[in-house]
Amino acid sequence: MQEKRVQFELNNLTEDFSFGKVARQADGSVLYRQGKAVLLATVVMEEKPVDEPFLPLTVQYIEKAYAAAKIPGGFIKRETKPGDFEILTSRIVDRSLRPLFPEGFAHPVQITILVLSADENVDLQVAALHAANAAVLLSPLPIERSIAAVRLGRDSEGNLLVNPPLEALEEGSLDLLLVGSGSELTMIEMAARATEVIEDLEMEELPPEALMGPMPLMLPHQESNEVDEKEFVGWLRMAAERIKTASRAYAESFLPLKRRRDPETFTLLRAPEELVEFLRGRLAERIDAALAGLSKSERGAALGELRRIAAAELEEYGMHPEPAQLQTALETLVSEAVRRQILDEGRRADGRTLKEVRPIEIENNLLPSVHGSCLFTRGETQALVTATLGEAKEGQMYELLTDHAPRTERFMVHYNFPSFSVGEARPIGAPGRRELGHGNLAKRALEPVVDLRMEKTIRLVSEILESNGSSSMATVCGGALALCAAEVEIKALVAGVAMGLVKEGERSAILTDIMGLEDHYGDMDFKVAGTREGITALQMDIRSGGLDFSLLEKALMLAKEARLHILEIMERARKTIEPSGALPISEHFHIDPSAIVHVIGKAGSTIREIIQRFGVSIDLDREKGKVRVTGKDRDKVLAAREHISGIAANAKTLEIPTYEKGKRYTGTVKRVVDYGLFVEMPGGIDALLHVSKLGGEGGQDLRERFRPGEKIDVVVLDQKGRKVELATPEYYEASQG
């Protein structure tokens, strides 16, 4: 095949696809370019099918260190096990492409995506999705539909951004990834992002001490940025149109290049209709009885007994289907029964109504040697979530491919799914993709309500002790209460619920708080987490064709109703929390807000000396004068409190220098920032010279014009206590003229 290239300008992306150039032994391959990013996506299909009724699809997204001109860190200088971002991206590609395969497709398929060259401004998840999609369409696989992905962000003004640069996405208040095919959405992931907000303060009015760091200061406040349900549906409608246009453009360009194969060469594992009809006539009542009102383990045993009975019936009539065909036939009949009960009778296997949440039980701080713990039980799903507090230096170091320096994760959520939680006898090993994905979802749900400016590390661990649906949402609920049990200040409680959908033609039913059976045989898995104010995280996988937006809006509102119900129960449980004896000792008290600057000291010298001397950590709220001192030794905590109170008392006697308005002074540049200079005035006051009042040449970077330590002439425009407003003489003279 000769090399062919296709280019697109769609949804703020400039993409280049090259076919037939590399990896030509694969069934499908594409060299994908966007900016400086280059990805190779390949697809290989095994000729021999499996004999199990599931799609044997494997996706691997792999980042190469050389792609960012790096040598791998650590002792071994080559890529080894995949990082979290690689695993999560592999899951996203898998969940997006899986709905495109025909039902019963039984050939093992391996999709590999290699990042060969990186670009810090390119969204590698969207790039991976589009590269893999192109390779699949080019391959002989019986897939004739294309997907497309769109990521939405939101800036500080609330404006939506379509496929924004990564920097803008990280600074914004929304991360919403949507994947679809034509008019159908197949996968959605959403997370609200907390942002720091300074209300009613111009930058020139902000006290310089509040921006000199690093110090454990509490800036004015943090917004959680929960998303309203109706607003969310509006975003989906807009994105769906863009996905529709892009996916059709991809299909029109790629499908003519497809390597065609006779459809008869593919094995679609489906039960013969005569086998299904035979078993339907003999097992229908038994299946209904097996589904009705039993626990998960009892139901599993009853369905296992059905396989034995079915095999005996077939043997009696001289029928000998393949084991996979028998399994597929039974799956078909159970699916029919589950869906029929829901759509025709409005009842579920465990006897609940469609919108009923399973009974909830909560026990807090049941582990005496743990900082905070919560045992959250909802029906047959149970999560034991623990919270452990540590110093900032105990955070998890990690580095993304295009990072120039390591990052530190100081809020961690680790999810474990041992085999005994589903009654299976398997050894416990390293966390798999499922564990990582569920933990990441819970983290995204809880992170907006946790103070991002905290000078500590928090680790939540969720041990799933029993599972029958929605264990990730149980982790969210238990995680929020475990934080409260560890006395971590959060903006609001967060609850999560998993919703389901059963749809046949024009008939449909939305299910609240689905269990495993309904997840397996339903058409949609829809997890929503949030506070009373709105959604903080959402994950949706759609198996049925098409997405009715009115149906989605109804599902969102039912999820909100369930979430509020769960939050009421959680709020009652929160009031009964008894502090853990393992918690560090904390002292909360108030001082005059004007004395905070003296507690901090010049460039943070005083507060650092207190921390080192008494072995404590200190949180300060400049606006309200709130102080929190935390440590393991009560005597040292109390001594640190007394010391801080003494500094605050002495600060009242210190004289504040008074400066004459309009008079010229000579100060020293202390710090250069994007919005101006911090200048030390005679008398020791630090004042802000805002960039708008510099005068002189514009357009030059401030760090090139000024250096810390150099002298500068300034004119005082105004003074309010320790807040002094400055201008350069040039600016002042021009403003007076």
pLDDT in tens, 463-489: 999 999 889 999 999 999 999 999 998
- pTM strictly above 0.85: no
Identify the CATH number of the domain in which residue 672 sits: 2.40.50.140
The pLDDT, as a whole number, for residue 214 is 36
- Verify that 254 and 371 share a domain, yes or no: no
- Verify that 49 and 186 share a domain, yes or no: yes
The pLDDT, as a whole number, for residue 207 is 45
The pLDDT, as a whole number, for residue 441 is 96
Closest residue by Cα to residue 591 from 632, 621, 560, 564: 621
Residue 721 belongs to some domain of the structure? yes
Three-state secondary structure string covering 37-90:
EEEEEEEEECCCCCCCCCCCEEEEEEECHHHHCCCCCCCCCCCCCCCHHHHHHH
The answer to whether the CB of 515 falls within 8 A of the CB of 469 is yes
- Verify that 614 and 539 share a domain, yes or no: no
The answer to whether the CB of 372 falls within 8 A of the CB of 580 is yes
How much of the chain, in percent, has pLDDT values that exceed 70?
93
The pLDDT, as a whole number, for residue 354 is 93
Is pLDDT of 699 > 60? Answer: no
Chain position carrying tokens 């623990």: 386
What integer is the mean pLDDT of 520-532?
91
Residue 229 belongs to some domain of the structure? yes
Residue 602 belongs to some domain of the structure? yes
Q: Residue 172 corresponds to which amino acid? A: G
The pLDDT, as a whole number, for residue 645 is 87
Q: How confident is the model at residue 129 (pLDDT cuts 50, 70, 90)?
A: very high
Identify the CATH number of the domain in which residue 282 sits: 1.10.10
The pLDDT, as a whole number, for residue 698 is 54
Identify the CATH number of the domain in which residue 404 sits: 3.30.230.70
Residue finishing a domain among 594, 625, 651? 651
Backbone torsions φ then ψ of 520, nearest 5 degrees = -65, -40
CA neighbours closer than 13 Å in the CB half-sphere of residue 581: 4
Q: 550-591: per-residue pLDDT in tens?
A: 888 899 999 999 999 999 999 999 999 998 888 888 787 888
How much of the chain, in percent, has pLDDT values that exceed 90?
47
The pLDDT, as a whole number, for residue 80 is 87
What integer is the mean pLDDT of 426-447?
92
Q: How confident is the model at residue 683 (pLDDT cuts 50, 70, 90)?
A: confident
Is pLDDT of 706 > 70? Answer: yes
What integer is the mean pLDDT of 454-459?
84
Question: What Å distances lie between residue 125 and 64, 185, 197, CA to CA?
Answer: 15, 17, 29
Per-range mean pLDDT, top range of 164-173, 364-373, 615-624: 364-373
Measured distance CA(104)–CA(270) in Å, rounded: 6
- Verify that 114 and 203 share a domain, yes or no: yes
The pLDDT, as a whole number, for residue 100 is 92
Measured distance CA(204)–CA(694) in Å, rounded: 12
Residue finishing a domain among 595, 616, 651? 651
Is pLDDT of 498 > 80? Answer: yes
The pLDDT, as a whole number, for residue 215 is 35
The pLDDT, as a whole number, for residue 201 is 39
Mean residue pLDDT across the chain:
87
The pLDDT, as a whole number, for residue 298 is 64
Identify the CATH number of the domain in which residue 617 sits: 3.30.1370.10
The pLDDT, as a whole number, for residue 200 is 43
- Verify that 320 and 365 share a domain, yes or no: no
The pLDDT, as a whole number, for residue 653 is 58
What integer is the mean pLDDT of 336-348?
88
The two beta strands, 372-378 and 360-364, are: antiparallel
The pLDDT, as a whole number, for residue 296 is 66
Q: How confident is the model at residue 297 (pLDDT cuts 50, 70, 90)?
A: low
The pLDDT, as a whole number, for residue 211 is 40
- Verify that 500 and 410 share a domain, yes or no: yes
The pLDDT, as a whole number, for residue 697 is 60
Measured distance CA(494)–CA(531) in Å, rounded: 5
Chain position carrying tokens 């207190």: 610
Residue finishing a domain among 626, 651, 676? 651
- Verify that 565 and 594 share a domain, yes or no: no
Number of domains in the chain: 5
- Verify that 603 and 708 share a domain, yes or no: no
The pLDDT, as a whole number, for residue 335 is 87
- Verify that 330 and 371 share a domain, yes or no: no
Three-state secondary structure string covering 642-668:
HHHHHHHHHHCCCCCCCCCCCCEEEEE
Closest residue by Cα to residue 150 from 242, 32, 252, 39: 242
**Strands annotated E in 399-474:** 407-409, 411-416, 456-466
Q: 201-252: per-residue pLDDT in tens?
A: 344 444 444 443 333 333 346 788 899 999 999 999 999 999 999 999 999 9
The pLDDT, as a whole number, for residue 696 is 65
The pLDDT, as a whole number, for residue 221 is 64
The pLDDT, as a whole number, for residue 138 is 95
Show the tokens assigned to 102.
């025909």
Closest residue by Cα to residue 115 from 32, 4, 15, 7: 32
The answer to whether the CB of 671 falls within 8 A of the CB of 645 is no
Burial of residue 581 (CB within 10 Å: 0-12, 13-18, 19+) is exposed
Residue 156 belongs to some domain of the structure? yes
Run of H or E residues at 309: helix 296-316
Q: 241-285: per-residue pLDDT in tens?
A: 999 999 999 999 999 999 988 877 888 888 888 888 888 888 888
The pLDDT, as a whole number, for residue 140 is 94
Measured distance CA(125)–CA(177) in Å, rounded: 9
CB neighbourhood size of 485 (10 A): 28
Is pLDDT of 295 > 70? Answer: no
Largest CA distance in the chain: 108
The pLDDT, as a whole number, for residue 399 is 85
The pLDDT, as a whole number, for residue 598 is 83
Is pLDDT of 504 > 90? Answer: no
Residue 570 belongs to some domain of the structure? yes
Measured distance CA(436)–CA(82) in Å, rounded: 12
What integer is the mean pLDDT of 416-425?
90
Q: Put residue 660 in one of left, alpha, beta given phi > 0 → left and psi -120 to 50 → alpha.
A: beta
The pLDDT, as a whole number, for residue 202 is 41
Q: How confident is the model at residue 346 (pLDDT cuts 50, 70, 90)?
A: confident
- Verify that 233 and 131 share a domain, yes or no: yes
- Verify that 590 and 628 share a domain, yes or no: yes
Residue 282 belongs to some domain of the structure? yes
Residue 535 belongs to some domain of the structure? yes
Residue 350 belongs to some domain of the structure? no
The answer to whether the CB of 721 falls within 8 A of the CB of 595 is no
Chain position carrying tokens 């005035």: 681
The pLDDT, as a whole number, for residue 544 is 65
Q: 181-201: per-residue pLDDT in tens?
A: 988 888 999 999 988 765 443
The pLDDT, as a whole number, for residue 23 is 92
Measured distance CA(434)–CA(437) in Å, rounded: 5
Q: 318-333: per-residue pLDDT in tens?
A: 787 777 788 888 888 8
Please report the DSSP string for 126-146 in residue order: HHHHHHHHHHHHHSSSS----
Show the tokens assigned to 415.
């999810």
Q: How confident is the model at residue 146 (pLDDT cuts 50, 70, 90)?
A: very high
Determine the structural domain holding residue 692 and report its residue range: 664-736
- Verify that 555 and 602 share a domain, yes or no: no
